[in-house]
Structure 1
Amino acid sequence: MNEAIHPLAKKTVVWYLAVTSLVLILMMIFGVIMLMNQGEMIRITPQWFYKIMTAHGTGMVGIAALGGTAILWYFLSKYVKLNPAILIVNFVLFLTGVSMVLIAIFVFDFSDGWTFLFPLPAQSAKMYGAAGAVFFLSGMLVLGIGFLILYMYLAARLTAVYGGLGKALGWDIIFRGKKGYGPPAAVVATAMVIITNSTALLAGATVLAASLVNIINPAVTMDPLLAKHLTYAFGHIFANCTIYMAVIAVYEVLPEYTKRPWKANKVFLIAWNCSTLFTLMIYTHHLLMDFAVPKWMLIIGQVFSYANGLPVMVVTAYGALMIVYRSRMQWDFASSLFFLSMFGWVAGAIPAIIDATIVVNHVMHNTKWVPGHFHTYMGMGVVAMIIGFMYYFNKTEGNQEHRGIDTFTIALYFAFFMGLVGSFLYAGGISAPRRWAEHLPQWVLSDQAGAVSGIFIVLAAIIFTARFFSGLRSVGSKVPYPKKSAAS
């Protein structure tokens, strides 16, 4: 049991996971509805398609961030004393922001996509009224404020305990020749997320605030290309950081199962520092088709998108293989999903790196190739880590045990997720566009294959969630181990 975490924080983590699991199912259902419409299996209006698409894209990344935050807080509490009030404040602001976003979409017909590219919100306001755009942009701001408060607090705590974010990233070992190992992997990953996601949130807040001002006073405008840079800097970094939070569970749990430590050696620390820098730069691969972007920025987008796939991903995936090799570890729900999530991360990065090649990007970026890469990374990477943590939490804090239904559900989930992402990548290969409500006949078969796969994925997610909620009844039933004091 994690006796270092505050009891109130532990209860809040349960709420985080409960909301995450339920919203994941809803977002998956939205995804299936879109595929069924594109595959001519059902018919919804284009207006409803784009409303669902907006909710699906925004909600999936947001809820992955919520689940990743639960993982980060739970394990970081072992090394740093944390105030549960901050976790609760973030949760309340998250729910408030989500409510505003849903009202904007389903009450006031906002359907501009998660990207809310300037000046689309203002144009939407002219067509459907300002309420939808204002609710959506304000809701996103509230969400961002909640996470920014969380990261500023965590930055203060790491500074108090480790002497600054640089030392939390192991700079004294990398640059000053200090011997030994760096801070725990959970601390290193948290420092990286604080730096990158705070930058992303500030970029997002800037363009959100500017768009709100433009709606209120159209005479106040901003450069659309600058707005696009800020928007994608926010969206790409924030989405990337979901896995950098969730992977903390892999670093903490696999050593527990294998009885082998996962030490933050110099190579590990260099990899995380490189990824900190690269993650801030590579959003530019979303702009490779924009002729107005300076060529040097496009080169950065390509080169460092290649480079970013190596440091942390390779170190983590290789480390997971080495720590598991001949360990005779116990394979259960948690360990299986954490190990398989390494495959999802690596497999998702490969089509992303291909797409980051400028000549390929010009042809492939606006096709379903991109959701193919992202769903691999998100569904078989981030979500697998979160679901694995849900089981681990119930097992560690209670007495939930692995059953045959769990093995079946894991196989069901990954088999049909391979079918889903395979249909996306194939559709990209035949130039099926993304974000289109209606498809040509030659694209329909891949949509139908994706929809059928999606139905079975939803079934697996429902079973995962049912097992999680049934396991919650045992949480708190264990006799705690003697307490170990956390760093203060």
Structure 2
Amino acid sequence: MSTTTVSNKISYSEAENQGALVAVKAHLIAAFLVFLLMMLAGATLRAAQGNMAPIGADVFYQFMTVHGAGMIGIAAIAGMAVLWYFLRQYVPLSTKIFWINFGIFLTGVVIILGSVFLGKYGGAWTFLYPLPGISMGAWSTGAAAAFLLGLLIIGTGFLILLLDFGRAILSSYGSFGRALGLPQLFGKEPLNPYHPATVVAGTMVLIVDFIGIAAGAVVLVMMLVNLYNPEFKPDPLLVKNLIYFFGHVIINVAIYSAVVAIYELLPRYTGRPYKTSKVFYAAWFAIVFMVMSVYPHHLYMDFPMPKWAMIGAQILSYGSGLPVMVVTGYGALMLVYRSGIRWNTSAKLLMLSIFGWAAGGIPAVVDSMVSFNRVLHNTMWVPGHFHFYLLLGVLPMIFGFTFYLLNGANGAQEEKPPLTERLGFYSFVGGALLFVGGFLASGASGIPRRWAVHLEEWVPYAQWSTLGAVLVIVGVLLFTLRVLTVLPKAPDPALAPAH
């Protein structure tokens, strides 16, 4: 594919398309099953805090560890599956490498599960130094090492996949800047409104995720060395910076990967093209730097941090979610407005994701303000905000894409969605709002996070959230049953250009 025809889609053989579709379906089916299991673990945690599930503190922290690591990992790989499906239409991605990453991911997952449930590791997914090595007998050095090794293996798979992204994008566009639309942004090339939004998003994901995961690999190796050679003592503040840089990047990239479902599918549902512009390019270019620069808002309480880093984090945190979220949300609303769109399950989920992304970011911005952070950051407010944009932002993007594959190219627009889809949607949405509302109300009331046992006056908040979690699980269970029974046999939606 020449760089003079970058808006054209790549042609694959029927066998290649079928192989790619099978790979994407495998990712999505695994994602739904893991989402369901991790939600059960999360509901158990809230039920334990609400005195509704009698589990010990050791089991609580094991569940908390596997829930955090599992949800972040599966959101990352499912979001990447959405991006990969659409990006391969514009650049020549390798299905073999896509499968290799999936196999490496599952290998890492098995090792992590063994470290938690066999080795009883319960140091949280953040694995903050020096906790993994000083468990006071709660788990062994081997269990901590297995957890860190599992994360390192998963990260290695992602790096391999991202290298393939880089190869494919460079072979088609010649440079990452051109793929991002920078020559158009700065007037070096004529504006092309049909430059693929997916390629812009995919290039941003490649750059940011590669750097973030590489930083994670560095800190994981440092901590593995420390476990078996305690004389090697890395600087705790450096380690914490690397961990939160890695963690903040990988979970945000899950959103920026899955958001391409909005760019690709809403035009098909509305019959209107999604056109890129200089504002669009500027937003995605800005977020390349902003998503890597705001993580110090997690470190306000670490007084040795440089003052300039804290000030910069606060300023950037105010606007970090705005560029892409605004252009995406505004663009989606303009596509839908007076389009006569039929609100099938996929379309409803995609529009829900825009609400969840925007509304879920508001508590995050509040927490990033130093005056609020001092009283909110170590409370339930923080899991409230990230559950908000994960449950109601990222997951609906992934679910919306899945129902597109499941219901065909037109999203079954001429038919009323099955009862399971309709019940699943409303149970999921209602439960998610109740669930995150319980978290945010808990945080506003000063209830601390990561406490296995709650005081009596805190218990009702946990019980409300538990009810919300049950409704979410019912919704996802209904979705999963339909996915398991219909998706494996669903034909290729036979994508057509949106313009």
Q: 1:24 aligns to what?
A: 35
Q: 1:203 aligns to what?
A: 215
Residue 411 of structure 1 pairs with residue 426 of structure 2? yes
**1:125–1:215 CA contact under 8 A, matched in 2:** no
**1:54–1:112 CA contact under 8 A, matched in 2:** yes
CA offsets 1:119-170 (integer angstroms, 9 cap, x no match): 1111138652221011100000000000011111101110110111111111
**1:278–1:304 CA contact under 8 A, matched in 2:** yes
Question: C-alpha separation between the residues in 2 aligned to 1:277 and 1:298?
Answer: 16
Residue 262 of structure 1 pairs with residue 274 of structure 2? yes
CA offsets 1:270-308 (integer angstroms, 9 cap, x no match): 001111110010111100111110111001111101111
Residue 123 of structure 1 pairs with residue 138 of structure 2? no
Residue 118 of structure 1 aligns with an amino acid whose one-letter code is Y
Question: C-alpha separation between the residues in 1 aligned to 2:200 and 2:22?
Answer: 25
Question: C-alpha separation between the residues in 1 aligned to 2:492 and 2:306?
Answer: 60
Measure how far apart 1:316 and its partner are. Answer: 0.7
Question: C-alpha separation between the residues in 1 aligned to 2:484 and 2:370?
Answer: 46
Question: C-alpha separation between the residues in 2 aligned to 1:166 and 1:221?
Answer: 40
Question: C-alpha separation between the residues in 2 aligned to 1:358 and 1:164?
Answer: 39
CA offsets 1:238-294 (integer angstroms, 9 cap, x no match): 000001000010110001111111111100010011111100101111001111101
Residue 385 of structure 1 pairs with residue 397 of structure 2? yes
Instruction: Report the CA distance shift for 1:392/1:218 in structure 2 as closer, same or farther (over 3 A).
Output: same
Q: 1:454 aligns to what?
A: 469
Measure how far apart 1:468 and its partner are. Answer: 1.1
Residue 140 of structure 1 pairs with residue 151 of structure 2? yes
Measure how far apart 1:397 and its partner are. Answer: 6.8
Measure how far apart 1:2 and its partner are. Answer: 10
CA offsets 1:56-100 (integer angstroms, 9 cap, x no match): 000001001111111011111211122101100100000000111
Question: C-alpha separation between the residues in 2 aligned to 1:139 and 1:414?
Answer: 33
Question: C-alpha separation between the residues in 1 aligned to 2:368 and 2:343?
Answer: 36
**1:285–1:298 CA contact under 8 A, matched in 2:** yes
Q: 1:33 aligns to what?
A: 44
**1:398–1:472 CA contact under 8 A, matched in 2:** no
Q: 2:408 aligns with which of 392, 396, 417?
A: 396
Instruction: Report the CA distance shift for 1:477/1:181 in structure 2 as closer, same or farther (over 3 A).
Output: closer
Measure how far apart 1:7 and its partner are. Answer: 2.1
Residue 209 of structure 1 aligns with an amino acid whose one-letter code is V
Question: C-alpha separation between the residues in 1 aligned to 2:491 and 2:393?
Answer: 29
Q: 2:164 aligns to what?
A: 153
Measure how far apart 1:404 and its partner are. Answer: 3.3
Question: C-alpha separation between the residues in 2 aligned to 1:406 and 1:6?
Answer: 27
Question: C-alpha separation between the residues in 1 aligned to 2:367 and 2:215?
Answer: 24
Q: 2:486 aligns with which of 455, 471, 480?
A: 471
Measure how far apart 1:3 and its partner are. Answer: 7.3
Measure how far apart 1:399 and its partner are. Answer: 8.5
CA offsets 1:430-454 (integer angstroms, 9 cap, x no match): 0111111011111111100000110
Q: 1:83 aligns to what?
A: 94
Question: C-alpha separation between the residues in 1 aligned to 2:491 and 2:470?
Answer: 34
Residue 165 of structure 1 pairs with residue 158 of structure 2? no
Residue 198 of structure 1 aligns with an amino acid whose one-letter code is F
**2:364–2:382 CA contact under 8 A, matched in 1:** yes
Question: C-alpha separation between the residues in 2 aligned to 1:195 and 1:477?
Answer: 30
Q: Which deviates further from its counterpart, 390-399 or 168-177?
A: 390-399
Measure how far apart 1:415 and its partner are. Answer: 1.2
Q: 1:10 aligns to what?
A: 21
Would you identify which runs of 4 or more consecutive aligned residues in structure 1 move more than 4 Å? Answer: 1-5, 397-401
Residue 197 of structure 1 aligns with an amino acid whose one-letter code is D
Q: 2:190 aligns to what?
A: 179
Identity of aligned residues (%): 42
Residue 421 of structure 1 pairs with residue 436 of structure 2? yes
Question: C-alpha separation between the residues in 2 aligned to 1:149 and 1:369?
Answer: 36
Q: Secondary structure at the match of 1:454?
A: helix
Q: 1:188 aligns to what?
A: 200
Question: C-alpha separation between the residues in 2 aligned to 1:122 and 1:415?
Answer: 41
Q: 1:320 aligns to what?
A: 332
Question: C-alpha separation between the residues in 2 aligned to 1:9 and 1:173?
Answer: 32
Residue 474 of structure 2 aligns with an amino acid whose one-letter code is L
Q: 2:373 aligns to what?
A: 361
Measure how far apart 1:176 and its partner are. Answer: 3.7
Measure how far apart 1:473 and its partner are. Answer: 4.9
Q: Secondary structure at the match of 2:134?
A: helix
Residue 226 of structure 1 pairs with residue 238 of structure 2? yes
TM (norm. structure 1) is: 0.96
Question: C-alpha separation between the residues in 2 aligned to 1:399 and 1:298?
Answer: 46
Question: C-alpha separation between the residues in 2 aligned to 1:216 and 1:23?
Answer: 32
Question: C-alpha separation between the residues in 2 aligned to 1:211 and 1:253?
Answer: 43
* Number of equivalences: 482
Tell me, which stretches of 5 or more residues in structure 2 are unaligned? Answer: 1-8
Instruction: Report the CA distance shift for 1:477/1:340 in structure 2 as closer, same or farther (over 3 A).
Output: closer
Q: 2:446 aligns with which of 419, 426, 431?
A: 431
Any residues of structure 2 matched to 1:290-305 within 5 Å, and which?
290-305=302-317
CA offsets 1:356-404 (integer angstroms, 9 cap, x no match): 0011101100101011110110000101111111110122379976223
Residue 417 of structure 1 aligns with an amino acid whose one-letter code is A
**2:120–2:138 CA contact under 8 A, matched in 1:** no
Measure how far apart 1:429 and its partner are. Answer: 0.5
Question: C-alpha separation between the residues in 2 aligned to 1:84 and 1:361?
Answer: 44
**2:50–2:459 CA contact under 8 A, matched in 1:** yes
Question: C-alpha separation between the residues in 1 aligned to 2:198 and 2:137?
Answer: 47
Question: C-alpha separation between the residues in 1 aligned to 2:437 and 2:242?
Answer: 31
Question: C-alpha separation between the residues in 2 aligned to 1:255 and 1:229?
Answer: 40
Any residues of structure 2 matched to 1:76-115 within 5 Å, and which?
76-115=87-126
Residue 448 of structure 1 aligns with an amino acid whose one-letter code is Q
**2:404–2:411 CA contact under 8 A, matched in 1:** no
RMSD of equivalent CA atoms: 1.9
Question: C-alpha separation between the residues in 2 aligned to 1:190 and 1:125?
Answer: 44
Question: C-alpha separation between the residues in 2 aligned to 1:252 and 1:135?
Answer: 39
Measure how far apart 1:6 and its partner are. Answer: 3.0
**2:101–2:158 CA contact under 8 A, matched in 1:** yes
Q: Secondary structure at the match of 2:468?
A: helix
Tell me, which stretches of 5 or more residues in structure 1 are unaligned? Answer: none
Instruction: Report the CA distance shift for 1:378/1:289 in structure 2 as closer, same or farther (over 3 A).
Output: same
Question: C-alpha separation between the residues in 1 aligned to 2:10 and 2:110?
Answer: 32
Residue 244 of structure 1 pairs with residue 282 of structure 2? no
Q: 2:290 aligns with which of 251, 274, 278?
A: 278
